């Protein structure tokens, strides 16, 4: 039989015992190596096992001996309490000194001498703190954090929380205060929020644009960090938040006691944000943490832009007649302009006490012809889209409009912007020259309170206040005092400036509300334009980009800045 037939046959591979057939050795597998057995042979123990057993016996004998000794020396039942007390001494921090009478950071010390810090806000101080109190408190937070960490941590660093800070809720300072925490007084029985952010609408610079930007960013920050969001308008110079906007979305929980709401540090469980500490909250660390330095210039602050956008979408909802007028105005522009093939170009001109960023205009204002020229350029670009359609081009030229908003009433009659129409005429600010003419026609009209040259904070704070009513004409108004608010009942005494600012008379508050409503309507109409031209030095200009949205304003360049070559960015100016 051949070798080939042997390999292909179906017979078993093993030959019968009596077979003389020889299988070639080349097909036989090599013998397997013999591995050492892991089972001890002949009942012998593996080497070293007796030594390990002796070590284990000695170890457990020592443990039993120690436990027996402890049992004789101490009451065995007291052992868990002793350990618990040792851990408690490490976790419980007591004030190093008597609690201060004013808001301040304080040191805490545990039973083992470890120092940390927290914020003490006496219950009698009330909420919210004044802007100077918030500024002072945040300054001292910086100092305390630096001192205890040897400069390793900062209270306003988003990327590195201060490990030495103990939240006021964990510090339980209420146990060391004789005053009882006041209740919220709203009868709300829902649980206290685990974490929150409260935006305090009070500002010393009177500007509404900065406040809106900080409000929207605060809302976006709260959403990013999973905090419940609240608004406090107790001392808002413009009155009640509900006079302008619908209330914000209501959380399912309630805010904590006032002394637990802190303006610093960033990691506080219940954070307070206002214009007084915005330079810390939205400072360099904020821009570095949420910004993107590797992105192209226009996109470096896209995440911050979107945070403000989320605040705009949730909070910018006008109420009452203003909301009805806005809806009517937008439908009018849709029907008369966009529906006919025209373009709505919005112009915002800020003057008053705010000057441009561009160096050559820093001491004056951006010339109005720069706005007009930019509008002309945008319109020509729009016309070029229909270069082959003469009928459409005629429609574009016939129906396109420029809508204008400014804090200076004289801008509306300027020759450079001839043909532009007001963004809205529902609430208009009169120029001083117009009021002078009206006063000459009717001398009994009284004091002239018109706007001359734009919005000035000093003029805003003086609305509704007549120095003649309280002081002789030759007697200057004190720099740090103002006449007593008429709603307080009159009298010869004077009130601190902040009290009149944040607790104005009924007349003053009415005038402030009108100014605020006019500003918001201007902003709302321009925010719905097809193109917007403005100066980035104004907070209103940045707000308009947010209202238009990233895709339309930045990507498609519908938002145009005429103040230098800067891209959209959040800065200290709003």
pLDDT tens-place string over residues 125-144: 889 999 999 999 999 999 99
Mean pLDDT of 260-277: 96
pLDDT tens-place string over residues 367-413: 999 999 999 999 999 999 888 889 999 999 999 999 999 999 999 99
Do 354 and 389 lie in one domain? The reply is yes
Domain count within the chain: 2
Mean pLDDT of 425-431: 82
Residue 229 lies in a domain: yes
Only one residue has tokens 């037939």, namely 5
Q: Is the pLDDT of residue 16 over 50?
A: no
- By the 10 Å C-beta count (0-12 exposed, 13-18 middle, 19+ buried), 206 is classed as buried
Please, what is the average pLDDT of the chain? 81
Q: Which residue has the higher pLDDT, 171 or 490?
A: 171
Q: Is the pLDDT of residue 296 over 60?
A: yes
| Bridge partners of residue 196, in order along the sequence | 228, 270
Do 306 and 446 lie in one domain? The reply is no
pLDDT tens-place string over residues 535-556: 999 999 999 999 999 999 999 9
Q: Is the pLDDT of residue 440 over 60?
A: no
- Residue 195 CA to residue 47 CA, distance in Å, equals 62
Predicted local distance difference test score (pLDDT) of residue 226: 97
Domain final position from 264, 281, 315: 315
At 349, which helix (H) or strand (E)?
A: strand 344-349
The strand pair at 115-120 and 104-109 is best described as: antiparallel
Residue 215 lies in a domain: yes
| Bridge partners of residue 481, in order along the sequence | 496
8 A C-beta contact, residue 124 and residue 258: no
Predicted local distance difference test score (pLDDT) of residue 25: 44
Domain final position from 315, 349, 375: 315
Do 98 and 240 lie in one domain? The reply is yes
Q: Is the pLDDT of residue 488 over 70?
A: no
The structure tokens listed for 200 are 């305090």
For 346, list phi and psi in degrees, rounded to 5: -95, 135
Residue 516 lies in a domain: yes
Distances (CA, A) of 186 to 182, 198, 212, 254: 11, 17, 26, 10
Contacts of 470 (CB under 8 A, 6+ apart): 483, 484
Do 520 and 444 lie in one domain? The reply is yes
SS3 readout for 358-426: CHHHCCCCCCHHHHHHHHHHHHHHHHHCCCCCHHHHHHHHHHCEEEEEECCHHHHHCHHHCCCEECCCC
Predicted local distance difference test score (pLDDT) of residue 252: 94
Do 251 and 399 lie in one domain? The reply is no
Predicted local distance difference test score (pLDDT) of residue 124: 86
Peptide bond before residue 260 is cis, with ω within 30 degrees of 0: no
Residue 71 lies in a domain: no
Do 419 and 554 lie in one domain? The reply is yes
Task: Report percent pLDDT > 90 for the chain.
Answer: 56
- Residue 208 CA to residue 343 CA, distance in Å, equals 29
8 A C-beta contact, residue 129 and residue 263: yes
Q: Is the pLDDT of residue 532 over 80?
A: yes
- Residue 378 CA to residue 402 CA, distance in Å, equals 11
Residue 488 lies in a domain: no
- By the 10 Å C-beta count (0-12 exposed, 13-18 middle, 19+ buried), 8 is classed as exposed
**Predicted model pTM:** 0.78
Do 157 and 107 lie in one domain? The reply is yes
Q: Is the pLDDT of residue 442 over 60?
A: no
Domain range enclosing 185: 93-315
Residue 260: which of 203, 191, 186, 197 has the closest Cα?
Answer: 197
- Residue 203 CA to residue 211 CA, distance in Å, equals 7
SS3 at position 532 = strand
pLDDT category at 104 given cuts 50, 70, 90 is very high
Predicted local distance difference test score (pLDDT) of residue 46: 57
Q: Which residue has the higher pLDDT, 123 or 355?
A: 355
Residue 8 lies in a domain: no
Q: Which residue has the higher pLDDT, 430 or 459?
A: 459
Mean pLDDT of 279-305: 91
Q: Which residue has the higher pLDDT, 484 or 98?
A: 98
8 A C-beta contact, residue 108 and residue 94: yes
Do 132 and 247 lie in one domain? The reply is yes
- Residue 398 CA to residue 376 CA, distance in Å, equals 14
Contacts of 544 (CB under 8 A, 6+ apart): 346, 348, 523, 526, 527, 532, 534, 553, 559
Other C-beta atoms closer than 10 Å to the C-beta of 356 total 21
Mean pLDDT of 7-26: 44
Q: Is the pLDDT of residue 24 over 80?
A: no
- Residue 112 CA to residue 455 CA, distance in Å, equals 58
Q: Is the pLDDT of residue 445 over 80?
A: no
Q: Which residue has the higher pLDDT, 169 or 35?
A: 169
Residue 478 lies in a domain: no
Q: Is the pLDDT of residue 428 over 60?
A: yes
The strand pair at 481-483 and 494-496 is best described as: antiparallel
Do 417 and 461 lie in one domain? The reply is yes
Q: Is the pLDDT of residue 177 over 70?
A: no
Only one residue has tokens 């508050």, namely 509
- Residue 382 CA to residue 557 CA, distance in Å, equals 13
Q: Tell me which of 79-83, 280-284, 379-383, 499-503 is least confident.
A: 79-83
Contacts of 528 (CB under 8 A, 6+ apart): 330, 333, 344, 547
Contacts of 495 (CB under 8 A, 6+ apart): 481, 482, 483, 484, 485, 488
pLDDT category at 119 given cuts 50, 70, 90 is very high
R_g over Cα of the chain: 38
Q: Which residue has the higher pLDDT, 214 or 21?
A: 214
Do 508 and 410 lie in one domain? The reply is yes
Mean pLDDT of 57-85: 60
Q: Is the pLDDT of residue 573 over 50?
A: yes
| Bridge partners of residue 531, in order along the sequence | 345
Q: State the DSSP code for 551.
A: I
Residue 164: which of 106, 112, 226 has the closest Cα?
Answer: 106
8 A C-beta contact, residue 159 and residue 265: no
Do 346 and 287 lie in one domain? The reply is no
For 326, list phi and psi in degrees, rounded to 5: -60, -45
The CATH number for 569's domain is: 3.40.50
pLDDT tens-place string over residues 183-194: 555 556 789 999
- Residue 558 CA to residue 544 CA, distance in Å, equals 11
pLDDT category at 223 given cuts 50, 70, 90 is very high
For 418, list phi and psi in degrees, rounded to 5: -60, 135
Q: Which residue has the higher pLDDT, 13 or 406?
A: 406
- Residue 572 CA to residue 380 CA, distance in Å, equals 35
8 A C-beta contact, residue 243 and residue 512: no
Domain final position from 287, 315, 343: 315
Q: Is the pLDDT of residue 178 over 80?
A: no
Burial per residue of 296-313, b for 16 or more beta-carbon CB atoms within 10 angstroms, e otherwise: eeebbbbbbbbbbbbbbe
The structure tokens listed for 227 are 């905090």
Residue 50 lies in a domain: no
Do 301 and 387 lie in one domain? The reply is no
pLDDT category at 462 given cuts 50, 70, 90 is confident
Predicted local distance difference test score (pLDDT) of residue 174: 59
- Residue 192 CA to residue 369 CA, distance in Å, equals 56
For 421, list phi and psi in degrees, rounded to 5: -115, 155
């Amino acid at each position: 039989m051949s070798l080939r037939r042997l390999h292909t046959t179906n017979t078993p591979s093993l030959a019968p015992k009596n077979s003389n057939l020889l299988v070639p050795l080349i097909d036989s597998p090599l013998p397997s190596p013999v591995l050492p057995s892991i089972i001890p042979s002949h009942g012998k123990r593996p080497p070293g096992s007796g030594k390990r057993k002796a070590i284990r016996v000695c170890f457990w004998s020592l443990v039993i001996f120690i436990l027996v000794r402890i049992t004789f020396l101490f009451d065995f039942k007291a052992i868990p309490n002793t350990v618990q007390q040792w851990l408690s001494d490490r976790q419980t921090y007591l004030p190093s000194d008597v609690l201060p009478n004013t808001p301040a950071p304080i040191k805490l010390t545990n039973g083992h001498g470890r120092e940390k810090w927290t914020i003490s806000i006496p219950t009698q101080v009330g909420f919210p703190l004044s802007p100077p109190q918030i500024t002072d408190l945040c300054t001292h937070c910086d100092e305390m954090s630096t001192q205890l960490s040897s400069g390793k941590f900062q209270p306003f660093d988003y990327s590195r929380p201060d490990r030495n800070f103990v939240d006021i809720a964990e510090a339980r300072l209420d146990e060391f205060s004789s005053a009882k925490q006041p209740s919220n007084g709203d009868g709300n029985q829902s649980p206290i929020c685990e974490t929150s952010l409260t935006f305090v609408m009070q500002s010393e610079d009177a500007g509404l644009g900065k406040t809106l930007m900080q409000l929207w960013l605060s809302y976006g920050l709260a959403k990013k960090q999973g905090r419940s969001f609240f608004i406090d308008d107790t001392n808002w110079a413009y009155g009640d938040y509900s006079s302008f906007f619908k209330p914000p979305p209501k959380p399912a929980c309630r805010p904590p006691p006032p002394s637990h709401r802190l303006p610093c540090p960033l990691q506080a469980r219940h954070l307070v944000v206002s214009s007084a500490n915005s330079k810390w909250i939205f400072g360099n660390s904020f821009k570095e943490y949420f910004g993107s330095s590797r992105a192209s210039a226009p996109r470096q602050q896209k995440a911050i832009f979107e945070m403000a956008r989320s605040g705009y979408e949730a909070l910018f909802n006008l109420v009452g007649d203003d909301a009805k007028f806005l809806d009517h105005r937008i439908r009018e522009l849709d029907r008369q302009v966009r529906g006919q093939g025209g373009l709505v170009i919005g112009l915002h001109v800020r003057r008053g006490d705010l000057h441009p960023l561009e160096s050559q205009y820093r001491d004056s204002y951006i010339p109005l012809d720069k706005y007009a020229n930019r509008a002309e350029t945008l319109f020509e670009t729009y016309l070029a889209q229909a270069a082959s359609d003469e009928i459409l081009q005629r429609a574009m030229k016939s129906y396109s409009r420029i809508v204008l908003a400014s804090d200076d009433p004289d801008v509306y009659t300027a020759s450079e912007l001839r043909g532009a129409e007001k963004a809205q005429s529902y609430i208009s600010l009169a120029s001083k020259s117009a009021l002078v003419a009206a006063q000459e026609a009717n001398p009994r009209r009284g004091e002239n309170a018109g706007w001359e040259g734009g919005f000035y904070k000093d003029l805003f704070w003086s609305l509704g206040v007549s120095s003649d009513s309280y002081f002789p004409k030759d007697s200057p108004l004190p720099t740090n005092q103002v006449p007593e608010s008429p709603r307080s009942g009159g009298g010869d005494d004077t009130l601190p400036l902040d009290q009149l600012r944040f607790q104005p008379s009924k007349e003053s508050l009415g005038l402030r509300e009108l100014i605020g409503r006019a500003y918001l309507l201007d902003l709302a109409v321009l925010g719905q334009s097809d193109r917007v031209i403005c100066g980035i030095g104004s907070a209103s200009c940045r707000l308009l980009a947010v209202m238009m949205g990233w895709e339309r304003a930045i990507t498609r360049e519908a938002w145009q800045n005429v103040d230098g070559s800067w891209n959209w960015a959040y800065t200290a100016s709003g």
